[in-house]
Structure 1
Amino acid sequence: MSGKEQISRVSISLSPSILHELDAMVAAKGYASRSQAIQNILHQELMACRQESGDELMAGVIVLFYNNAATNLQQKLAELQYENLAEVISSLHVNLVRRQTLEVLLVQGKVKKLQEIADQFVTLSGVISGRLHLIASLIPPVHEKGRELTLDMEAS
């Protein structure tokens, strides 16, 4: 297929109460149509299903909100990034008021590994909240088919 993706029509049956809620959501969120809203909802659920396998290669972000006055927290965050250099592509942090920081890590790899990395970040003392958000796409050419990126972390 070149250019535009072909669209298929499907029909669904909804109770009046669900249809009313759907229409209210479409209006409240500003969707152009019911179809657009339903497509968005389905996409999110399909993504969640794909993430359950853990072996899928995906890109995403880890969003962290933390107290940068916490002892050694920024050093621990940097060390974790270096330990996972094959998956952590980039990071951006913004200093907020009251010694708080918002940090966003761009990541890519197998879902299971990315979740493990996110869990390591989120559970550090001083991290107020954090979340992994994945998308069904890859950042080229970080992972090429048939090639695993290996890094020698001990080399200077």
Structure 2
Amino acid sequence: MSVSRFGVSLDEELLKALDNYVNENGFSNRSQAIRHLIEKNMVEEKWKCDNIVAGAVVLVFNHEKSDILKKSSEIRFAYKEYVLSSQGFYLNDENYMEITAVKGPSRILTEISDKLIGLKGIQHGKLVMSKAG
């Protein structure tokens, strides 16, 4: 695969955001981060065709500070036909990781993950999808 070089103009705020993204994600340079973002966008666009996919929603949160466990359970129940399983792990005295396995149309799985990740108190959330079948 050949590599092409090109120039990019960014305002100061976007450049700072890009540099923060590089540092927070351990990329060796801006080019690597931009490649990652483009590839991520290509994958997300592919899922918009609403294929049947399988995936996992990973959440990390402080289980002592809110009722996230109750609220996430309510969301999973509302989408029970798409939820395969859910498992939780105590990472330490405060932090908890919840992994929910899901299968269904990518649009629905994205909807489920948006609701779960959008819960107040979520420290980190991510949806990972893969074509099923």
Match of 1:36 in 2: none
Match of 2:25 in 1: none
* Cα distance change, pair 72–46 in 1 and its aligned pair in 2 (3 A): closer
Instruction: Tell whether 2:75 aligns with 1:80.
Output: yes
Name the structure where helix makes up a greater proportion of residues: 2
Q: 1:101-144: CA deviations, max 9, x gaps?
A: 11111001111111111010001112111011100124xxxxxx
Give the TM-score of the pair, scaled to structure 1: 0.57
Q: Which runs of 5+ in 2 are unaligned?
A: 6-38
Q: Any conservation in 2 of the 1:47–1:136 contact (CA below 8 Å)?
A: no
Indicate the RMSD between aligned Cα atoms, in angstroms.
Answer: 2.3
Match of 2:54 in 1: 59
Q: Any conservation in 2 of the 1:70–1:125 contact (CA below 8 Å)?
A: no
Give the TM-score of the pair, scaled to structure 2: 0.66
Aligned length: 100
Q: Which runs of 5+ in 1 are unaligned?
A: 1-11, 18-42, 139-156
Structure number with bigger Rg: 1
Q: C-alpha distance in 2, partners of 1:80/1:99?
A: 22
Runs (4+) of structure 1 exceeding 3 A deviation are: 43-49
Q: Partner amino acid for 2:126?
A: R
Higher relative contact order (CA 8 A, sep 6+): 2
How much does 1:61 deviate? Answer: 0.5
Q: C-alpha distance in 1, partners of 2:95/2:3?
A: 46
Name the structure where strand makes up a greater proportion of residues: 2
